[in-house]
Amino acid sequence: MTTPPLPVDTRRRSELPDSYSAPRSCERQWLRSALLVLGLILIAVHHWGDATGRQSLPATWLFAALLLLVGWTYSRAKALGLTLVSLLAWGWIDASVATDWTGALAGQFVRLAVALGLVAWMNHLRDRLSEAYRLARLDSLTRLPNRQALVEALEAELSRTRRLGRPFTVALLDCDGFKEINDRHGHMAGDEVLRHIGLALRQHTRPYDCVGRLGGDEFLLVLSEVDGENAVLIAERLRAALRHFVEREYPSLTFSLGVVTFRTADLDWDDCIQLTDDAMYAAKRRGPDQTRFEVVDGPATRTLPLSK
């Protein structure tokens, strides 16, 4: 049987999270840039008033705080460039009222070094924290999202369903006979199998679906805006991809799949995992290499037949 292509709903792209939504991301970036530039201009005016004696409140600490914000917000090149332009404006104001050019020039160099170092340090700190946040949500073996990232994806889908009323599907895949691979070929071979399974699942799902390792030899897929009929097509596509991998190296390896479509958000993320886990074990009780499909419309659960 020819496996149908993975259905892609083009309407989905307008409802992606901020990290995938280009228009919303651009609007926020422009707004953030405008506010920072406006802040630098106001501080420059404030410093000009301070330098000419029109007011007594120093602008140095305000300027330093804004530079920290610049370093945290922008890439290193943009942050350093904006800092350099701001300091040149600051130096021009100082030079316009300076009587000791040597002292003013020396002070400007010191200020430049301190400010650039401060912005670079803040930018580096931001990058390190972002990397730590990313790594904390990755499975070290497969480099797929781990349980924490999957929970966050489920919470995001439940929130979207509450707001927009659109369904989503959760699939749990368990490897039948995986222990035999570990026992016969060793744990290194088992780890390699898990990495290949994760890669196959990732390559045959959409970029904005969340595919992660729940633990052991179980993989969880959170499929955005996929209803029951499309869930059957996707499950068959994934089976075909996995079968192509295992039939050459590990023909005894099969997969049990529990696939649950949620049309309601009147439950929590742990309910989603539990219902999908129950569906997977129901498939496993029917024998190896089976799939169980269910649709949750509310308190009741309805089972869909799988056409082979």
Residues noted as catalytic: 217
CA distance 209 to 235: 14
Output the six-digit token pair for 138.
Answer: 């990755």
Phi and psi angles of residue 109, each rounded to the nearest 5 degrees, phi first? -65, -45
- Bridge-based pairing state of the strands 254-262 and 168-176: antiparallel
Within 13 Å of residue 301, how many CA atoms lie on the same side as its CB?
Answer: 16
Q: What is the DSSP annotation of 222-285?
A: EEET--HHHHHHHHHHHHHHHHHHHHHH-TT-EEEEEEEEE----S-HHHHHHHHHHHHHHHHH
- Bridge-based pairing state of the strands 254-262 and 291-296: parallel
CA distance 198 to 144: 7
